[in-house]
Structure 1
Amino acid sequence: MVAAGRPGTDGGAPARPGAGANAAPATTVARLRARLSGTLRDRARRVRGIGGLALQAGLAAALSWLVAHQLLHVSQPVFAPISAVSTLAASIGQRLRRTVELIIGVTVGVLVGDLLLTVTGTGWWQLALIVVLAILVALFLAGSAAVVIQAGATAVLIATLSPSVRDLEIPRFVDAFVGGAVALLVTAVLLPLSPLRVLNRAARPVLDLLSDQLDATAGALADGDIDRALTARTKLRENKDELRALIEATQGAREASTLSPVHWHERHGPVGRYAQAAAPIDRAMRNAGTLIRRAVTVIEDGEPVPEALPGAVADLAEAVRVLKRQFAAGHEPTEARARALRAVCSASDAYREGVGFSGAVVVAQVRTTVSDLLVASGLTQEVANRLVRRAFDAPERPAGDRR
């Protein structure tokens, strides 16, 4: 029989007065502090990430103004720095395209504006007509939002300022050319971004997300923890922003290594290999998602889980981490390939020990995801498939790349 405790106790030590009331505010303060700390870290990371872009934009704006004003004698070269900053504001990898779009948009706006002003004169309805036709022509010729915006903005300037400002068309052309050209000069020669750094910054969140959720899935399989597996499944699905950033970064790396003489030698080295990895990494994410969904079913249905099965998933997670490190260092990812093939060996062991239907799908997805990672590391699909089959059929611990 349990002895009755004093009021406010469970038969043990007496509760301190107000303990629960004090604990709640303390917990709230701790949570707010942690959230604030996380927010500050995120913002600091964001500033570090775009610090180079800010320097490029400032230098390009100043240089474009100097070139247009001092060398070309444009009296008020407002649109040259605007064009330069607009070019740099485009996604990395699309700046050359943005420069061409600026020039096309300005050309359309000037031609449509001049033609209609000659025919219709000036006025409010003429302004509306000029803008509508300039946008329609821009859509017909290019269909790009940047071209449409430039065409419409230039048409407004021509329609409203031409009656009071002489020879507005030539300065507008000059500004567009100067701004775009100076922006490209800054990004290619004066302050070029490191293509490898651009790729590392974008690939790190993708590969961290993949390895973390594979690790969580391995632990869930080992412990039979359905909640942990469900959480991993949900988190891996939330990868659209990370993948989009990686794809943009590959475009930026290609552009930087093509335009910048400083980085020409990297086009066919680490940057070239890294830039080609975006598509297979995307496939690896999707195949890993199927793996995790089936791992959830394995736990829900109580299927057998040989010790080698969570080991295979853990090896796969480690292969992703090693791939990230070797990519970041610019090294040939031989160690990542070996680790990935070790995951196939473990999956083969699990299959031979005996798995259920969903367990067999997990094994198959380990093989498929490893094949994707091998292609991401620079191997051809044919070589990757052959290495995976060899590791699965004759499980051993491969020492490295066997081309």
Structure 2
Amino acid sequence: MADTSARRDDGEPRAAAAYRRAVGALRSRSRVGERLRRVRASGGLALQAGLAAGISWWVADGLLHIPQPLFAPISAVIALAASVGQRLRRTVELIVGVAVGVLIGDALIYLVGTGAWQLGLIVVLSIVAAVLLGGSPAVMVQSAATAVLIGTLSPVVENLEFPRFVAALVGGAVSLAVTAVLLPLHPLRLINRAAAPALCLLADQLDVTAEALRRRDGPAAQAALDRLRDNKQEVAALTEAAQAARETSTLSPVRWESRQGPVARYARAAEPIDRAMRNSGTLIRRTVTLIEDAEPIPDTLPDAVSALAEATRLLRREFATGHEPDKARRTALRAVTGAGAAYRAGVGFSGSVVVAQVRTTTSDLFVATGVEQEEANRLVRGAFGPLATDRSGSGD
């Protein structure tokens, strides 16, 4: 007996250690995989930045013979570091900021000379001037940084002011040339990569909500609500990608054909998808109350929410392949039909809100597919069917 117990005691720690090693190995592989995905996602930006830096240095130093040509690649990288979809605006801001900084820095150095307090005064006045011109925070920062460089380097490097401005102009122009002509990003691939997390988040939480309705599991529905509310990163990425798709298809000649078709439709879908997420949040919040208040839950109500989740997934897939999202539309209408059946079977106060939000979210998804709002509302009303009582059940 003693020997058996000892073997068992010895085996349990070994099993636990093996389990911990296995879990650790899985986590390590997961982290490596995530890092590799991030590297692949940022690979295009890295290539653009490297190409822009090299070309801007060559233009500023080899062709224009600008003193201190490091300002050109710095400006190029700053412009490329802007959020994708805002590079044209950031380049303009960069040039404006440099111009303000050069003007203020040069004028004050001429009037008051150089030194610590003069440098502080130059920075203050540069920011004030940028604000008076209506500049964004980026303009203010660039103006102040330029003023600092002028104030600290001008005593050492003569006639730095104009070359600094030209170098910034070269860097900004090269960054636009790289993104528009030499190495433009593929807009459809860019927006697909950004939209997938937002649509998957919405579909997953709607699935959790449907299961919570079937099991009357209030905590599960609350967890889905909390996760859906934490969507700022996904929504911001989708909005930024939509801006990038528009910018790329406008600036890049090789992407002009994408201004119509799947890319244009996808770019316009960002706002209705955001609305769908917010309206789904209301749906899930009322689901929590419905369960807590022990209201009736017709069988077709969780099925309707499941169909809404499936429609969201189909929308992502059809967008990704560039196909017309007909399957997503049909599935979304099936969700509305189920919600109408649940309404006529009898729901409570919160249940009627859930039904209404199924309709509203479906309408949002239809608009995301390119259907006009009025037509989307008409289709939703038709799929919902007749009203059994005077309750409108609208919300689309």
Task: Choose from 74, 81, 92 the match for 2:73.
Answer: 81
- Cα displacement (A) at 1:32: 3.0
- Cα displacement (A) at 1:113: 1.2
Distance in structure 1 (CA, Å) of the matches to 2:26 and 2:128: 51
- 2:27 is equivalent to residue 35 of structure 1: yes
Match of 2:127 in 1: 135
Distance in structure 1 (CA, Å) of the matches to 2:204 and 2:25: 25
Match of 1:218 in 2: 210
- 2:361 is equivalent to residue 391 of structure 1: no
Distance in structure 1 (CA, Å) of the matches to 2:15 and 2:284: 38
Match of 2:54 in 1: 62
Unmatched segments (≥5 aa) in structure 1? 1-5, 8-12, 396-403
- Cα displacement (A) at 1:297: 2.3
Q: Secondary structure at the match of 1:193?
A: coil
Q: Secondary structure at the match of 1:304?
A: coil
- Cα displacement (A) at 1:139: 2.1
Distance in structure 2 (CA, Å) of the matches to 1:234 and 1:157: 47
Distance in structure 2 (CA, Å) of the matches to 1:101 and 1:223: 55
Q: Secondary structure at the match of 1:58?
A: helix
Match of 1:398 in 2: none
Q: Secondary structure at the match of 2:8?
A: coil
- Cα displacement (A) at 1:135: 1.6
Task: Choose from 179, 194, 202 the match for 1:202.
Answer: 194
Deviations 1:177-196 (A, max 9, x none): 11000000000011000111
Distance in structure 1 (CA, Å) of the matches to 2:149 and 2:217: 65
Q: What is the 5 A alignment of 1:55-204?
A: 55-204=47-196
- Cα displacement (A) at 1:18: 4.5
Distance in structure 2 (CA, Å) of the matches to 1:15 and 1:227: 43
Deviations 1:318-374 (A, max 9, x none): 100110011111122122111111110111111122222222211111001101101
Name whichever of 194-203 and 227-236 sits farther off: 227-236
Q: Secondary structure at the match of 1:16?
A: helix
- 2:38 is equivalent to residue 46 of structure 1: yes
Task: Choose from 206, 225, 230 the match for 2:222.
Answer: 230
Give the residue type in structure 1 aligned to 2:305: V
Match of 1:268 in 2: 260
Give the residue type in structure 2 aligned to 1:318: E
Deviations 1:180-232 (A, max 9, x none): 00000000011000111111111000000000111111112122233322221
- Cα displacement (A) at 1:305: 1.8
- 2:253 is equivalent to residue 283 of structure 1: no
Deviations 1:83-105 (A, max 9, x none): 00110000001101111111111
- Cα displacement (A) at 1:24: 4.3
Distance in structure 1 (CA, Å) of the matches to 2:225 and 2:123: 49
Distance in structure 1 (CA, Å) of the matches to 2:208 and 2:19: 27
Give the residue type in structure 2 aligned to 1:240: K
Residues 75/118 of structure 1: CA separation in 2 closer, same or farther (3 Å cut) = closer
Match of 1:259 in 2: 251
- Cα displacement (A) at 1:19: 5.3
CA contact under 8 A between 2:67 and 2:160: conserved in structure 1? no
Unmatched segments (≥5 aa) in structure 2? 388-396
Match of 1:315 in 2: 307
Deviations 1:104-138 (A, max 9, x none): 11111111111112211222222221121112111
Residues 157/292 of structure 1: CA separation in 2 closer, same or farther (3 Å cut) = same
Give the residue type in structure 2 aligned to 1:103: I
Match of 2:325 in 1: 333
Give the residue type in structure 2 aligned to 1:41: G
Residues 332/394 of structure 1: CA separation in 2 closer, same or farther (3 Å cut) = farther
Distance in structure 2 (CA, Å) of the matches to 1:22 and 1:369: 52
Distance in structure 2 (CA, Å) of the matches to 1:280 and 1:15: 63
Q: Secondary structure at the match of 1:17?
A: helix
Deviations 1:45-100 (A, max 9, x none): 11111100000000000000111111112243101001001100000011011111
TM-score of the pair, normalised by structure 1: 0.91
Distance in structure 1 (CA, Å) of the matches to 2:125 and 2:366: 52
Task: Choose from 276, 284, 295 the match for 2:287.
Answer: 295
Deviations 1:229-286 (A, max 9, x none): 2221221111111101111111111100100011112112211111111111111101
Distance in structure 2 (CA, Å) of the matches to 1:112 and 1:14: 82
Distance in structure 1 (CA, Å) of the matches to 2:361 and 2:211: 18
Residues 262/230 of structure 1: CA separation in 2 closer, same or farther (3 Å cut) = same
Q: CA RMSD in A?
A: 2.1
Distance in structure 2 (CA, Å) of the matches to 1:361 and 1:18: 58
Give the residue type in structure 2 aligned to 1:132: V
Match of 1:356 in 2: 348
Match of 1:400 in 2: none
Match of 1:246 in 2: 238
